[in-house]
Amino acid sequence: MSHPRSAGVTVGETDRLREVARRIRVEVIRAVNHAQAGHIGGPLSAADILAVLYFHILRIRPEEPAWPDRDRFILSKGHSSIALYAAMALRGYLPVEELLTFDAVHSRLQGHPDMTRLPGLDMSTGSLGMGLSAGMGIALGARLTGRDIRAFVMLGDGECQEGEVWEAAMAAPRYGLDNLIAIIDHNRLQQYGWPGDGPDGRIPPQVPGELAAKWSAFGWRVLEADGHDMATIVNVLEEATRSDGRPVAVIAHTVKGKGVSFMEGHYFWHTRAIKPEEFDQAMAELGEPVPDTEGGPR
Amino acid sequence: MTLQLGRPMREIFGETVAELATEDPRIVMLDGDLGSSTRADIFEKAHPDKYLQMGIAEQNMMGVAAGLATMGLIPFISTFVSFAVVRPLDQVRLMIAQTGLNVKITPGYAGLFTGRTGMSHIIVDDISIMRAMPGMVTVSPADDVEARQVLRWAAAYDGPCYVRLVRDATQRLFDDDYQFEFGRAVTVRTGGDVTLISTGAQTPRVVDAAELLAADGIDALVIHLPTLKPLDVEAIVTGAERTGQVITVEEHTIIGGLGGAVAETLSEHRPTRVNRIGLRDLYPESGPNDALLEIYGLSAARVADQVRAILRPT
C-alpha cells in the first residue's frame, strides 16, 4: 500500500472539482427532497469521488454515451444512484432538471441504475456485490479485443460483506487486469449496522485496516485516499491507472452524509425523507440559495 | 424397437461452440472449473485464448459474462445446471435477464443424468425457474442432433438464453437433416387417441412409450416442445384439439415446468384435461441412469404404464 503525493493537479482544477462535488450534493438533496424518498448518506459520501471521475479521470464523451472506446464506470453500490445521475447530468448526459424525476414512474432515473433506460450507464446494479464482476468482464473484454479501456467500479464498504465481491477479488488478479480499478467508499456505516458500542449503538462494517489487508491478500494493488480531498483523490486515481499487472483497489476513507453537518456519520440518514427545515439547513450548509418556490415535499 | 443412443450432448457442446468460435471471433467460453465434465475442454483445445477459466465462483462468472457481453463478446457458460441456475440466480436475473445482455447460459447435467451425484446436483425445477424469469428464453433439446442446432441458433440469437444440456448419451430422435426452429414445436409421431407432450431427452422415451401403447391399441400423438419459452401455443392447442386428452411427460418437476406451461396454455386457450407425468414434489436420489428413470416413472415402459392408467382407470 502506498500514499501517492505527486502534486500533479493544479489549485484551479481542485477548485473546479470541489464546485462540481458541491453541486452534486445540492442536486442529491434537491432530488431526494422532491421525491420524499431515496438514499442520502451514501450518495453524499461518494460525491467527491464521482466529481473527480466524471470531470477529471474518465475518458468519456457525454454527447456519444455509447462511444465504444470509452472508459466504463459501474456504481456497484447502486443505492447511491442519485449521486451518479447528478454527476452525469452536470457532465451533460441528461438535463439537470430531469434529476427531479428520480425514482418516479416512467423515469430514466430508476431507484437503482437501469442501463436499459439511461444511456451512459455501463451496467445495471442494485443487488449488492455484483458490480465488480461486471467490471472484471469489461476489463477482460477490453484485453481480449485489444482496446485501451479502463473499468472503474465503486463499491460500498458494507457491500464488501457480499461473497461475490471476493469471488471477483479472487479471479481478477489471475488475469492480471490492471485496467480494473475498484474504489471502495469506506464510510464505515451500512444501513442498520452490527450491534455494538459505537456511535448509534453500532460498530462499523470492518475493523480498521481490514479492507486494505483483505484486498492486498487477494493480490490487488491497494491505494488509500481521503475520499473528500480533491487533490488526493485525483492523485490516487491517476496513480491507479498506471499499470503494474495487478488490479487496483482504492480504499477511499469517507464520511457518510458528508457535507451536511446533521447527516454526517449517522445510520438513520442512510435513507430518509427530508423535512422542510432540514432541507433549508442542508442547502444553506451547501452554500446554495433556495428560492421561495422550492423546498418541502411536493 | 427402441430409439438408439446418440452422442452425449456435452460432447456436442464442446465441439459445436468450438466450431462457432472459429466462425465468429466474438465467442468465448467461461468455465466454472468443470470443463472436463461439461466438455468445455474440447473448446479449450481448439481455442485456448478464448477459454476463460473462472474458477469455482459462479456468481462472479455470471457477472463477468455480462461485462464481456457489454464489450461485444458472446460468452457461453460452462457449468452444471445447479450452478448456472440456482446458485447464481440473482446474478442471472439482474445482470443478464434484466439487462438483456447477450449471454448464453448453456449448462450440462440437466435432469436425472448427473453421474450418480444425488440431489445436490440434480435440479428438478430449472425449467420452472427460468421460464418464469422475464427476459429469459428457455430451450431443452431432445438429442445430440437437436443440441447442435440449438447451440448454433443460440450463437446467432441476440440476447440472453438458457439452453439445458444432458451429461450422458441419450436416445437419438432426429435425423441429421433435422432443422430446429426457435419457438416451434415438432410433431414427432401422429396419432388420434391421446396427445403426449414432452421436452428434452424425455421426448425419445415418450416416442418409445407411444410404440408400446400402439401395441395395446392406443394411438398417441407425440409433440416435442424444445422451446419452453416462448411457447408454441398454436401447436399445443392444435394437439389438444386432435385428441381431446393431453398428457405431459417431463424429466423435471410437474410443478411449473412443461406440465405447468401446457396446463396454463390450454386452460386459457382451449380448456382440456391435462395429466402431468414427471417428478412429484421431491428431491431425487443418486443411482445409475436407468434405475433412476425406472423409480421416477420416466422409462418408456413406466410412461406407457402411467398413460394406460390415465386413459383406462380401473
List chain B residues with CB under 8 Å of A144. Answer: 28, 49-50, 68, 71, 73
Q: Which residues contact A275 (CB under 8 A, 6 or more apart)?
A: none
Do residues A50 and A90 touch, judged by C-beta distance below 8 A?
Answer: no
Residue A291 scores a pLDDT above 70: yes
Q: Does A122 touch chain B if contact means CB atoms closer than 8 Å?
A: yes
Do residues B223 and B195 touch, judged by C-beta distance below 8 A?
Answer: yes
Interface of B with A in 254-283 (CB under 8 A): none
List chain A residues with CB under 8 Å of B31. Answer: none
- Establish, for the pair of chains A and B, how many residue pairs have beta carbons separated by less than 8 Å: 111
Task: Summarize the confidence of residues A241-263 as an average pLDDT.
Answer: 97
Distance, CA of A43 to chain centre:
7
List chain A residues with CB under 8 Å of B57. Answer: 164, 167-168, 170-171
**B171 within a domain of the structure (yes/no):** no
Residue A290 scores a pLDDT above 90: no
Q: What percent of chain A has pLDDT over 90?
A: 90
More confidently predicted of A267 and A173: A173
Q: Are residues B220 and B92 part of one domain?
A: no
Domain termination site, one of B128, B163, B198: B163
Q: Looking at the 3D structure of chain B, how many domains does it have?
A: 2
Min distance B56 CA to chain A CA atoms (Å):
8
List chain B residues with CB under 8 Å of A137. Answer: 63-71, 75
**B168 within a domain of the structure (yes/no):** no
List the grid coordinates of B3. 430409439
**Cβ–Cβ of A122/B90 closer than 8 Å?**
no
- ipTM of this model? 0.97
Starting at the edge strand found earlier in the chain, the sheet holding A180-186 runs: A72-75, A151-156, A180-186, A248-253, A221-226
Q: Are residues B24 and B159 part of one domain?
A: yes
Q: Which of B60, B61, B99 sits opposite A115 (nearest CB)?
A: B99
Do residues B167 and B113 touch, judged by C-beta distance below 8 A?
Answer: yes
Distance, CA of B286 to chain centre:
20
Q: Are residues B139 and B103 part of one domain?
A: yes
The residue annotated as part of the active site, out of B15, B44, B58, B251, is B58
CATH code of the domain in which B21 resides: 3.40.50.970
pTM (predicted TM-score): 0.96
Q: What is the pLDDT of residue A294?
A: 65
Q: Which of B54, B60, B73 sits opposite A144 (nearest CB)?
A: B73
DSSP B82: I
Domain termination site, one of B110, B131, B163: B163
**B60 within a domain of the structure (yes/no):** yes
Element (H, E) at B78: strand B74-78
List the grid coordinates of B193. 387417441
Share the mean pLDDT of chain A.
Answer: 95
Kindly list the distances between the CA atom of residue B308 and the CA atoms of B85, B300, B304, B311, B313, in Å, as whole numbers in the listed order: 35, 12, 6, 5, 8
Can you give the three-state secondary structure of chain A, one letter per residue? Answer: CECCCCCCCCHHHHHHHHHHHHHHHHHHHHHHHHHCCCECHHHHHHHHHHHHHHHHHCCCCCCCCCCCCCCEEEECCHHHHHHHHHHHHHHCCCCHHHHHHCCCCCCCCCCCCCCCCCCCCCCCCCCCCCHHHHHHHHHHHHHHCCCCCCEEEEEECCHHHCHHHHHHHHHHHHHCCCCEEEEEEECCCCCCCEECCCHHHEECCCCCCHHHHHHHHCCCEEEEEECCCHHHHHHHHHHHCCCCCCCEEEEEECCCCCCCHHHCCCHHHCECCCCHHHHHHHHHHCCCCCCCCCCCCC
CB burial class (10 A; 0-12, 13-18, 19+) of residue A58? middle
For residues A182 and A210, what is the distance between their CA atoms, to the nearest angstrom? 16
Task: Summarize the confidence of residues A86-114 as an average pLDDT.
Answer: 97
List the grid coordinates of A181. 480499478
List chain B residues with CB under 8 Å of A174. Answer: 53, 55
Q: Are residues B159 and B33 part of one domain?
A: yes
Q: Are residues B266 and B144 part of one domain?
A: no
Q: Does A159 touch chain B if contact means CB atoms closer than 8 Å?
A: no
Interface of B with A in 47-86 (CB under 8 A): 49-50, 52-55, 57, 59-73, 75
Min distance B53 CA to chain A CA atoms (Å):
9
**B4 within a domain of the structure (yes/no):** no
Min distance B87 CA to chain A CA atoms (Å):
11
**Cβ–Cβ of A123/B70 closer than 8 Å?**
yes
CB under 8 A, 24+ apart: contacts of A16-21: A16/A55, A17/A48, A17/A51, A17/A52, A17/A55, A17/A56, A17/A230, A17/A234, A18/A48, A18/A51, A18/A230, A20/A51, A20/A54, A20/A55, A20/A87, A20/A90, A21/A47, A21/A48, A21/A50, A21/A51, A21/A230
Enclosing domain of residue B264: 186-311
Q: What is the pLDDT of residue A293?
A: 65
**B257 within a domain of the structure (yes/no):** yes
Min distance A224 CA to chain B CA atoms (Å):
25
Task: Summarize the confidence of residues A130-151 as an average pLDDT.
Answer: 98
For residues A183 and A174, what is the distance between their CA atoms, to the nearest angstrom? 19
Q: What is the pLDDT of residue B159?
A: 98
pLDDT tens for A24-60 read: 999 999 999 999 999 999 999 999 999 999 999 999 9
List the grid coordinates of A182. 475498484
- Beta-carbon count within 10 A of B79 CB: 29
**B276 within a domain of the structure (yes/no):** yes
CATH code of the domain in which B298 resides: 3.40.50.920
CB under 8 A, 24+ apart: contacts of B272-277: B272/B240, B272/B244, B272/B245, B272/B246, B273/B244, B273/B245, B273/B246, B274/B246, B274/B247, B274/B248, B275/B246, B275/B247, B275/B248, B275/B310, B276/B247, B276/B248, B276/B250, B277/B247, B277/B248, B277/B249, B277/B250, B277/B303, B277/B306, B277/B307
Q: What is the pLDDT of residue A2?
A: 44
B58 is catalytic: yes
**Cβ–Cβ of A138/B70 closer than 8 Å?**
yes
For residues B100 and A115, what is the distance between their CA atoms, to the nearest angstrom? 10
List chain B residues with CB under 8 Å of A145. Answer: 71-73
CATH topology (fold) of A11-285: Rossmann fold (3.40.50)
**B262 within a domain of the structure (yes/no):** yes
Q: What is the pLDDT of residue A191?
A: 94
Question: Would you say how long chain B is, in residues?
Answer: 314
Chain B: residue nearest A115 by CA? B99
Instruction: List the one residue out of A52, A115, A87 whose CA is nearest residue A250.
Output: A52
Q: Which of A127, A141, A168 sits opposite B71 (nearest CB)?
A: A141
Q: Does A170 touch chain B if contact means CB atoms closer than 8 Å?
A: yes
**B293 within a domain of the structure (yes/no):** yes
List chain A residues with CB under 8 Å of B59. Answer: 129-130, 133, 163-164, 167
Kindly list the averaged pLDDT for each block of 10 residues, start to end, along chain B of length 314.
94 98 98 98 98 98 98 98 98 98 98 95 97 98 98 98 97 97 98 98 98 98 98 98 98 98 98 98 97 98 98 87
Crossing angle between the packed helical segments A163-171 and A210-217, to the nearest 10 degrees: 40
